[in-house]
Structure 1
Amino acid sequence: MHPPAPERHPYENQDPASMPHDMGYGCKMVDGVMHVYTTRNIMEKSTELELPYPDLQEYIADMNMMMALIINGPVKSFCYRRLQYLSSKFQMHILLNEMKELAEQKKVPHRDFYNIRKVDTHIHASSCMNQKHLLRFIKRSMKKYPKEIVHVERGKGQTLMEVFETMNLTAFDLSVDTLDMHAEVMADLEESKYQNVELRLSIYGRSRDEWDKLAQWAVTHQVYSSNVRWLVQVPRLFDVYHTKKQLCNFQEMLENIFAPLFEATVHPGSHPELHLFLQHVVGFDSVDDESKPEQHIFNLDSPLPVNWTEEHNPPYSYYLYYMYANMTVLNHLRRQRGFETLVLRPHCGEAGPIHHLVSGFMLSENISHGLLLRKAPVLQYLYYLAQIGIAMSPLSNNSLFLSYHRNPLPEYLSRGLVVSLSTDDPLQFHFTKEPLMEEYSIAAQVWKLSSCDMCELARNSVLMSGFSQGVKDFWLGPHHTKEGQESNDIRRTNVPDIRVAYRYETMCEELNLITQAIRTDEQETIREEGSLCMGAGQKEK
């Protein structure tokens, strides 16, 4: 098994004429979801392509059923007891097998926690550096490029020196404290070799050209690294844009976000930079302060996006449904063309109402934060059964929502939920050059995580990430998509087969318990129907 071939720079020497051909399809948004037609002129002899997406009525019905399930007393008791059982079972496993796991790890040559692959699955590009790194960059830029125009206001440009003068600052005055914070980052990642990140970049949906500007920036400045993949975060700020008269309705925001993607998929030559950039975008994120109160409950009477002209923001579940519906149609189209598809990986469950986690469970590939699962045993058990990934950031949560010792990460890990460690905002919460290692080291000290626990977290981060199948084959082993012990290659992951086998057997037992209950229920129904038929036959005689 050899490493993936060294990637040449994907943005160099690209001939627009070599782009994939134009399919000639037309696209139009109807009731908040993009529809694709066989010709550009939709009014003349054009038929709609069959690109299915989740039905709105079905989504709302399922969401209501899930909400009812969460508050059902017997179901809550059952799920709570199963979660407690999983915790106790893991403690028993540790007592019996901890030394065996350690011995298995020691037998592996050239592999320890430092040289296994780790992915920072939740980090924002705008604050991916630490404070000292940013300070050095600003000072160096002030010395080298003082006359570079860095800010434009009302059509007038300001140089870097003029910006400093307006704030009565010089390069000498700057320190970490004056920063008001208690393509070098990529180079550091490549140097470290074993650390990788999935950086979030923002698309706001205020205008159609946002995607082209972002892609042009990436391609022109060759912002690329084999250690980096991109996620696009969409802030839930429709109410702000609508108040400023930048958007007429919610459908306009959706069109601004998704229309350029459909155009670049149907006719890559119309957006060449965007087509290239999308090859390294792995998904969408939905971000904002979840603790903000929602004034509307998503139901069948909710206005369609084209009619949503109210001043208050649509609810979280409304945003997620329309993002997911459009992504589903887009993925069908991109899969037909052999292009990379996108997944939904929103911020979810950091604060706010519990229905955010319900929407996340129904629509997401994995989520970021998930703190509120500790208060919802039914949902926590469902996230375990479905193995939905959770990227957790204990240092970020410690500053904003939940003290470090109360963080549920060790509890989730012991129960078998797919959790990984991430940094969120190194500029705000970390001090060292390697924030992800800082996150791991603090977690290991505070929660007394073993070497096996740390390697399992790292393996989870790779499994959750959007890196390609070939890359994951090299990082985790060629059989990592299989089930159980067979999926693990300890020479690459440093996770003992004993731990992987335990996780798989425990999951099988839980699924068997659920399916056995369903089978028993079906058998009782069949017996009841059979006895009724026999009783009716005897009466006829």
Structure 2
Amino acid sequence: MSSNLPSGTVTGAKNKPLSPFKKRGSLQYAASTVEPRGARHLLTSQHSLPGIPVALKQSIDLRTSMDGKYKEIAEELFSRSLAESEMRSAPYEFPEDSPIEQLEEKRHRLERQISQDVKFEPDILLRAKQEFMKTDSATDLEYMKEQSQAPDLQEREQVPEREYQRVTISGEEKCGVPFTDLLDAAKCVVKALFIRQKYMSLSLQSFCRTTTRYLQELSERPLDLDLYEEDIPETTVTADATVHPPVSETHPYENQDPASMPPDMGYGCKMVDGVMHVYTTRNIMEKSTELDLPYPDLQEYIADMNVMMALIINGPVKSFCYRRLQYLSSKFQMHILLNEMKELAAQKKVPHRDFYNIRKVDTHIHASSCMNQKHLLRFIKRAMKKYPKEIVHVERGKGQTLMEVFESMNLTAFDLSVDTLDMHADRNTFHRFDKFNAKYNPIGESILREIFIKTDNYIKGKYFGHIIKEVMADLEESKYQNVELRLSIYGRSRDEWDKLATWAVKHQVYSNNVRWLVQVPRLFDVYHTKKQLCNFQEMLENIFMPLFEVTVNPGSHPELHLFLQHVVGFDSVDDESKPEQHIFNLDSPLPVNWTEEDNPPYSYYLYYMYANMTVLNHLRRVCGKM
């Protein structure tokens, strides 16, 4: 798997062309205490590789008024949420104009006005905007005009940085908030950032470089974050810059020859207390043969979670963050008012680039909803015309053709329309997880969802693969649009990964403009009630065991080995408005003992998914796949 796909199961050759998909960590997890008085606080793990940056030492005092009370605050917050859970209700209808839509409309209106008013023709721009820009606009435009006519490319590369108007705020700070509250809130935010950095570092995920630079000023030694990030040199854009990256001539799913796959490492894998352990041999899985792969300590993770929950409900922290975000938003709006025209002029000076031909990535799009309604409607009508006699479904042991399925619903191709599909997620689905899920069913019929937008059905996801490839073809034609599509792994059976990979390889569902992200719905209680799972550890094994097996021996799952090269990470999804009946603490049962009817809490899911993902990333690094 490619090296720019960190969060989960992705690695690859380092000499591949740079991808527009940035490294990311999809699992959102809580994090850790920072000892007072600058003490060294280790992120302990059961095993540690030499050189792994699992510790951070601060040179500043981050003690706050909440120190020593995190556990009590977290328990109080949980008990309060249980008491209020029965009073929670979500409105069924929303106003016609939601705040998000108003902001989007305002932004689009501003962009349309700019596109109509501004065309980079120096003489016209000079006459039309001279009064607006006032300060040295004529000089700037004349300079740009001379530079554009200069024959020497080397001189063009040495254009000095453009001077923008700046806004400074001076005088004694009088914000109406006690200084002690501001200081306490700032320390809490810094503490949370150190926690986040610690967990990102342990799982070999990238961390924001700007935040790293500021955190380094607060620590006694440099943070070891760049060790796991791609070394991407910052190059200037020139007139002869490559517009289209090179594309491989061979299809990545064609090479399934076992001889060409990496060799079997001979390691053994076994899940112990919900976390996968890797051993140097498959025959003797003992402590003496265990590989030294780190993962977060459960006790410290729970302490970190208590810290984060306490910070969430801290009044000064909430006020500080709100005021800071408002200030930054206003500062940016002021920058736009002062320097909008200069920025537009500078953008138009960049060769081969404008808004339409810069590379864009759409995220958080499920593959089942990546097409628009009109596209899906055209595909369904085309399938009814081309494959009316194809058996697509089995009802009570009897096969049904596509025509018979629609006849059972008293529908014909003529009756279908965008309105009858009813798959548009409008504003009434906001905060309504039940209504949102219903939008995945064409015409409100789950049987059509199974036939057209499922990978595991009677026709092995044939129609779904075809329509996804049509969406990919549209993306490739536009050249600059990329998407991160989501596919679901439920953890009900061990062969889910193989079925998904076989679907992708068989139908050659691949595009250089697309990467996959695997989401895991938190539905253990549903599967346990249906007797599909005995305990929570069985679900974890179904999710992670195939990934460890294919990492150790790619030949054991050849299709999965090829498919994982284009997977970028994991996510955990469900209706987050549902109340939780349990709090995750040291008294919580281990996954092998979680046999209750209730669903484990969100933090329980995330710890065991994060811990296994961390071990997997380190294993893939040891095996040279990352």
Q: TM-score by structure 2 length?
A: 0.53
What SS is found at the alignment partner of 2:277?
strand
When residues 50 and 65 of structure 1 are mapped into structure 2, their CA distance, relative to the original with a 3 A threshold, is: same
Deviations 1:56-79 (A, max 9, x none): 111110110122223333333433
Residue 176 of structure 1: how far off its partner (Å): 1.7
Residue 267 of structure 2 corresponds to residue 31 of structure 1: no
How many Å separate the matches in 1 of 2:535 and 2:319? 44
Residue 231 of structure 1: how far off its partner (Å): 0.5
Tell me the residue number matched to 1:73.
315
What SS is found at the alignment partner of 1:146?
coil
- Give the alignment of 1:426-445 within 5 angstroms: none
Deviations 1:4-40 (A, max 9, x none): 3212210114312211100111100011110001111
How many Å separate the matches in 1 of 2:528 and 2:312? 35
How many Å separate the matches in 2 of 1:13 and 1:92? 55
Residue 502 of structure 2 corresponds to residue 260 of structure 1: no
Tell me the residue number matched to 2:302.
60
Tell me the residue number matched to 1:91.
333
* Match among 423, 432, 435 for residue 181 of structure 1: 423
Tell me the residue number matched to 1:116.
358
What SS is found at the alignment partner of 1:306?
helix
CA contact (8 A) 1:199 1:231 kept: yes
Query: Runs of 5+ in structure 2 lacking a partner?
Result: 1-240, 425-468
When residues 224 and 43 of structure 1 are mapped into structure 2, their CA distance, relative to the original with a 3 A threshold, is: closer
When residues 202 and 116 of structure 1 are mapped into structure 2, their CA distance, relative to the original with a 3 A threshold, is: same
Deviations 1:210-256 (A, max 9, x none): 00000011111111011100011111111100000000011100000
Higher relative contact order (CA 8 A, sep 6+): 2
Residue 106 of structure 1: how far off its partner (Å): 2.5
- Give the alignment of 1:392-471 within 5 angstroms: none
What SS is found at the alignment partner of 1:255?
helix
Residue 180 of structure 1: how far off its partner (Å): 3.2
Tell me the residue number matched to 1:215.
501
CA RMSD of aligned residues (A): 1.7
Amino acid of the structure 1 residue aligned with 2:570: F
Tell me the residue number matched to 2:368.
126
* Match among 245, 254, 267 for residue 4 of structure 1: 245
CA contact (8 A) 2:269 2:278 kept: yes
The answer to which of 294-303 and 65-74 deviates more is 65-74
When residues 77 and 291 of structure 1 are mapped into structure 2, their CA distance, relative to the original with a 3 A threshold, is: closer
What SS is found at the alignment partner of 2:270?
strand
What SS is found at the alignment partner of 2:415?
coil
What SS is found at the alignment partner of 1:36?
strand
CA contact (8 A) 2:256 2:559 kept: no
Amino acid of the structure 2 residue aligned with 1:298: F
| Identity value in percent | 93
Amino acid of the structure 1 residue aligned with 2:370: C
Tell me the residue number matched to 1:283.
569
Residue 121 of structure 1: how far off its partner (Å): 1.2
- Give the alignment of 1:195-274 within 5 angstroms: 195-274=481-560
Tell me the residue number matched to 1:136.
378
What SS is found at the alignment partner of 2:304?
helix
How many Å separate the matches in 2 of 1:171 and 1:107? 51
CA contact (8 A) 1:39 1:46 kept: no
Residue 155 of structure 1: how far off its partner (Å): 4.2
**Bigger radius of gyration, 1 or 2?**
2
Residue 259 of structure 1: how far off its partner (Å): 0.3
Tell me the residue number matched to 1:517.
none
CA contact (8 A) 1:234 1:287 kept: yes
Residue 614 of structure 2 corresponds to residue 328 of structure 1: yes
How many Å separate the matches in 2 of 1:42 and 1:170? 62
Residue 46 of structure 1: how far off its partner (Å): 5.6
CA contact (8 A) 2:268 2:285 kept: no
- Give the alignment of 1:296-315 within 5 angstroms: 296-315=582-601
Number of equivalenced pairs: 340
How many Å separate the matches in 2 of 1:157 and 1:338? 47
How many Å separate the matches in 2 of 1:204 and 1:71? 33
How many Å separate the matches in 1 of 2:379 and 2:364? 24
CA contact (8 A) 1:22 1:267 kept: yes
How many Å separate the matches in 2 of 1:207 and 1:237? 13
When residues 154 and 275 of structure 1 are mapped into structure 2, their CA distance, relative to the original with a 3 A threshold, is: farther
What SS is found at the alignment partner of 1:178?
helix
Residue 45 of structure 1: how far off its partner (Å): 8.7
How many Å separate the matches in 2 of 1:146 and 1:250? 43
What SS is found at the alignment partner of 2:549?
helix
Residue 349 of structure 2 corresponds to residue 107 of structure 1: yes
Residue 123 of structure 1: how far off its partner (Å): 0.4
Amino acid of the structure 1 residue aligned with 2:257: D
How many Å separate the matches in 1 of 2:287 and 2:317? 53
When residues 73 and 172 of structure 1 are mapped into structure 2, their CA distance, relative to the original with a 3 A threshold, is: closer
What SS is found at the alignment partner of 2:276?
strand
Tell me the residue number matched to 2:258.
16
Tell me the residue number matched to 2:411.
169
What SS is found at the alignment partner of 2:421?
coil
How many Å separate the matches in 1 of 2:420 and 2:324? 51
CA contact (8 A) 1:147 1:159 kept: yes
Deviations 1:343-369 (A, max 9, x none): xxxxxxxxxxxxxxxxxxxxxxxxxxx
Amino acid of the structure 2 residue aligned with 1:179: L
How many Å separate the matches in 2 of 1:132 and 1:43? 55
Amino acid of the structure 1 residue aligned with 2:534: C
What SS is found at the alignment partner of 1:121?
strand
When residues 206 and 186 of structure 1 are mapped into structure 2, their CA distance, relative to the original with a 3 A threshold, is: same
How many Å separate the matches in 2 of 1:280 and 1:43? 31
Residue 159 of structure 1: how far off its partner (Å): 1.4
How many Å separate the matches in 1 of 2:367 and 2:419? 22
How many Å separate the matches in 1 of 2:281 and 2:396? 42
CA contact (8 A) 2:279 2:285 kept: no
What SS is found at the alignment partner of 1:223?
coil
CA contact (8 A) 1:279 1:339 kept: no
Amino acid of the structure 2 residue aligned with 1:70: I
CA contact (8 A) 2:486 2:518 kept: yes
Residue 269 of structure 1: how far off its partner (Å): 0.3
When residues 52 and 44 of structure 1 are mapped into structure 2, their CA distance, relative to the original with a 3 A threshold, is: closer
Residue 43 of structure 1: how far off its partner (Å): 4.6
Amino acid of the structure 1 residue aligned with 2:575: D
CA contact (8 A) 1:211 1:260 kept: yes
Q: TM-score by structure 1 length?
A: 0.61
How many Å separate the matches in 1 of 2:323 and 2:255? 60
Runs of 4+ in 1 over 6 A off after TM superposition: none
Amino acid of the structure 1 residue aligned with 2:331: K
